[in-house]
Chain A
Amino acid sequence: MKAPVAIFGSSFIGALRKWTETTSFQDPDFTIEFMATSGAKTPVARVEDGRVVDFKYSSAPDGRRLSDYVAIFLYARMPTPLDIAARYKAARESGCSRQVILAMVRDSLEESPNLILFRRIREAFHGQIYLVSSNIPSDVAPPEPGDYQLGVSLIREVLGDKYHEFPSEMFNRDLTPRLELYKGSVTYNGEAPTGDQSKHDRNHLNPEGGSIVLRSMVARLARPRSQKQAWWQPIATMFKKLMAALRRRPLSYASA
């Protein structure tokens, strides 16, 4: 019996869902379920009788209760580390105190659709919730050195371990997003952005980008104990590697 994991959010999650469908992705331990509504309408989603309602798209079975999930990822609009870093620097330049800056960071996050959704879901779900920021626009200017890390650390000051950072594979060396992960992007219905959303194409990932985000999410989850490797396996692996190395080279250092 696999444990259900939810990914709730906006059109950002379309890329993740599309990848699971096209590759028939199956995690050995978890069933991934998606629920989404377009970005501006994310705060419309609400909790009713222990269930999330009013998402436009859902892959969850009927009657799925929040309490069934072992973890929930929220992936709707929320300031990115670069957004937060830019606001931090502007606030510093205008002489704001650290208290004011931290309040600004907290407010910037708390007023985002992702945090509005978080507060609603938290009332009915007491398990682990992770929050993912908006995708970083593909055409963002290369950030100043340290800006991205500054933004991450500020977000972590507010969200702590709940913040789920984008994996490093999504970035170029200069911390701009890899453009190839945005080409052929999809939205929550798994199709290419149309209408108003097409203007925001730079904000949506393609299924390859979605797979990177999804795998980073799954990697974050605690595997059921029975499925994990036995406690002695890492030691055995190390021992095997050591023996192989010894066979390849003389024991010169042993007599040194």
Chain B
Amino acid sequence: MNPYDNLPEKAYWKPAVAQRSLFDLVDLWDPRFPISPKDAVVTFGSCFAQHIGRAMLSRGFNWFSAEPGPVGLSAASRAKFNYNVFSARTGNIYTTSLLHQWVKWATGVTSPPDEVWEVKGRYYDPFRPAIEPDGFASKDEVLESRERAIEAFATCIRDAKVFVFTLGLTESWLNSEYGYEYPVCPGTVAGTFNSEKHVFRNQDYTECLASLMHAIKAMRQQNGSIRVILTVSPVPLTATNSGNHVLVATMHSKSILRAVAGKAVNHFDFVDYFPSYEIINSPAVRGTFFEPNMRSVNPRGVAFVMDQFFHSLIGKFGSPGELPVSGASGGAPAVSTADDIVCEEELLEAFGDAK
């Protein structure tokens, strides 16, 4: 007898993967806790997180938006102005350090800087540079809007039963003078790049892990019953400033994030990991779930990932019962197709196209 004699089928590549059709892959996720249709679920993170919010809502779960936008705003305008893209109007939160920064603002540990970018008479939020496509009318408008987003983010932490966070990047841009982080390099989406003030940092495992652990602990202090589901975005980097080939930089970044997520799951019993990254990127899938650009995940891939999510939950905990079709608190997520995904980082592609 040895430990491998009595392992389940899923432990062996040949029966679990090689001898199966892609669509017969099962048991990819062993969820730690159930999600009731009444549980408020919030979603934040990189671009891929938007799919999760939409899928939760379409299955009758209580996807919660703390900043749904004003009454009377159409679905198209909500999407244009980034309402209901995430559970608060934070824009993309790509890195664990950026998550920690938002948590510190929301919990009052630090105050957000009053930095605002002005371009041709319009004003942009460095921490949500694409949140209003044409910028704001004034600096005060930027700061007020940001303040509301922070309040909404705090509400999400306080009221959520499940906080879903999709880890996206290790590459980050910092303000060298004050140490705070931007979601994208200044001068790309908006603002002006200043090589003395804006510094690049490709965060390593230790840094990413420390930020994530601090953020989770701080959220748990605010809400003793919050549970966290981590995922790693399967979407490759649009561009890298690391000096490596973008394909190598992508694997470097995703590998670190995957390891960080695993460490957090091992450390906290209220944190789980859902393998969307593995499902999309596995060799068993042969790239089937990518669009022709080999970067964007196609709708079939999104549907497959989310089917795995819900089948695993039901398989382990049973059907959650009658699911209300319109379970969302505050409106439908703005995402409707893969093309509608809001991804500030993708704007970097324009700089590559010019070459």
Interface residues of A (CB under 8 A from B): 79, 87, 90-91, 94-101, 103-105, 107-108, 110-111
Supplied contacts A95-B148, A103-B74, A103-B80, 20 more A-B pairs, CB within 8 Å: A79-B72, A87-B72, A90-B70, A90-B71, A91-B71, A94-B67, A94-B148, A97-B137, A97-B141, A98-B137, A98-B141, A99-B132, A99-B134, A100-B69, A100-B73, A100-B81, A104-B69, A104-B73, A105-B72, A110-B74
Give 30 A-B contacts (CB < 8 Å), ordered by A residue.
A87-B71, A87-B72, A91-B71, A94-B67, A94-B70, A94-B148, A95-B147, A95-B148, A96-B69, A96-B70, A96-B145, A97-B137, A99-B81, A100-B69, A100-B70, A100-B73, A101-B70, A103-B73, A103-B74, A103-B81, A104-B69, A104-B71, A104-B73, A105-B72, A107-B72, A107-B73, A107-B74, A108-B72, A110-B74, A111-B74
Q: Which residues of A contact B69 (CB under 8 A)?
A: 96, 100, 104
Tell me the nearest residue of chain A to B133, going by C-beta. Answer: A99
Closest CB in chain B relative to A176 CB, distance in Å: 23
The tally of CB-CB contacts under 8 A between chains A and B is: 56
Collect the chain A residues with CB atoms within 8 Å of residue B74's CB: 103, 107, 110-111
Q: Across the interface, do B73 and A97 meet the contact criterion of CB distance under 8 Å?
A: no
Tell me the bound Cα distance from A79 to B71 in angstroms: 12
In this complex, the member of A79, A98, A107 whose beta carbon has the largest number of chain B beta carbons within 10 angstroms is A107
Which chain A residues lie closer than 8 Å to B67 at the CB level?
Answer: 94
The verdict on B339 contacting chain A, using a C-beta distance below 8 Å, is no
Return the contact of A95 from the options B72, B81, B134, B144 (Cβ within 8 A).
B144
Query: Taking the nearest CB of chain B, how far is it from the CB of A78, in angstroms?
Result: 12
Hey, which chain A residues are within 8 Å of B200, CB to CB? none
What is the distance, in angstroms, from A119's C-beta to the closest C-beta of chain B? 14
Question: Closest 8 A-B residue pairs measured CB to CB?
Answer: A95-B148, A108-B72, A91-B70, A107-B74, A103-B77, A104-B73, A104-B72, A104-B70
The answer to whether A100 touches B132 (Cβ under 8 A) is: yes
Distance in angstroms between the alpha carbons of A47 and B148 in the assembled complex: 45
| Bound complex: CA A101 to CA B67 (Å) | 14
- Taking the closest CB of chain A, its distance from the CB of B150, in whole angstroms, is 10
In whole angstroms, what is the CA distance A177 to B313 when docked? 56
From B136, which residue of chain A is reached at the shortest CB distance?
A97
The interface residues of chain A, by DSSP majority, are classed as helix
> Which residues from 126 to 144 on chain B have a C-beta closer than 8 Å to any C-beta of chain A?
132, 134, 136-137, 141, 144
Quick one: which of A101, A104, A108, A110 has the most chain B CB within 10 A?
A: A104
Question: Which residues of the other chain, B, contact A97 by a CB distance below 8 angstroms?
Answer: 132, 136-137, 141, 145
- State in angstroms the CA–CA spacing of A111 and B76 once bound together: 12
Q: What is the chain B residue whose CB lies nearest that of A88?
A: B70
Nearest to B76 among chain A residues (CB) is A107
Given A95-B144, A98-B141 in contact, is the A104-B77 Cβ separation under 8 Å?
A: yes
Is chain B's binding surface mostly helix, strand, loop or mixed?
A: loop
Q: How far is the CA of A94 from the CA of B67 in the complex (A)?
A: 9
Instruction: Tell me whether B145 and A95 are in contact (CB under 8 A).
Output: yes
Chain B residues within an 8 Å CB radius of A99: 81, 132, 134, 136-137
- CB-CB < 8 A to A103: which residues of B? 73-74, 77, 80-81
Distance, CA A104 to CA B80, complexed state (A)? 12
Closest chain-A Cβ to B46's Cβ sits at a distance in Å of 24
Please encode chain B, from 46 to 71, with 1 for each CB lying within 8 Å of some chain A CB and 0 for all others.
00000000000000000000010111
Q: Which of B143-170 contact A (CB under 8 A)?
A: 144-145, 147-148
- Among A79, A103, A108, find the residue whose CB has the most chain B CB atoms closer than 10 A: A103
Query: Which residue, A79, A87, A99, A105, has most C-beta atoms of chain B within 10 A?
Result: A99
A92 to B147, CA, bound (A): 13
Instruction: Give every chain A residue within 8 A of B71 (Cβ-Cβ).
Output: 87, 90-91, 104
In the bound complex, how far is the Cα of B69 from the Cα of A104, in angstroms?
Answer: 9
Among residues of A, the one whose C-beta sits closest to the C-beta of B77 is: A103
B155 to chain A minimum Cβ distance, whole angstroms, is 12
The residues of A that contact B134 with a CB separation of less than 8 Å are 99
Residues of the A chain whose Cβ atoms lie less than 8 Å from the Cβ of B72: 79, 87, 104-105, 107-108
Residues of B close to A107: CB separation below 8 A: 72-74, 77
Task: Look across to chain B and name the residue whose beta carbon is closest to the beta carbon of A79.
Answer: B72
Chain B residues whose C-beta falls within 8 Å of the C-beta of A111 in the assembled complex: 74
A102: nearest residue on chain B (CB-CB)? B77
A101 to B69, alpha carbons, bound, how many Å?
10
Residues of B within 8 A of A98 (CB): 137, 141
Q: Tell me which residues across on chain A come within 8 A of B81, comparing CB atoms.
A: 99-100, 103
Q: How far is the CA of A96 from the CA of B132 in the complex (A)?
A: 11
Q: How far is the CA of A94 from the CA of B89 in the complex (A)?
A: 12
Residues of A within 8 A of B141 (CB): 97-98
* Nearest CB in chain A: distance from B52 CB, A: 25
Question: In chain A, what residue has the closest Cβ to B147?
Answer: A95
Chain B nearest Cβ from A92, distance in angstroms: 9
- Please give the distance in Å from A150's CB to the nearest CB on chain B: 15
**In the complex, chain B residues whose CB is within 8 Å of the CB of A91:** 70-71
Give the chain A neighbours of B73 by CB distance below 8 A: 100, 103-104, 107
Find chain A residues with CB under 8 A from B147 CB.
95
- Nearest CB in chain A: distance from B70 CB, A: 4
Quick one: CB contact mask for B36-47 with A, threshold 8 Å, 1 for yes?
000000000000
Nearest-CB distance from B71 to chain A (Å)? 6
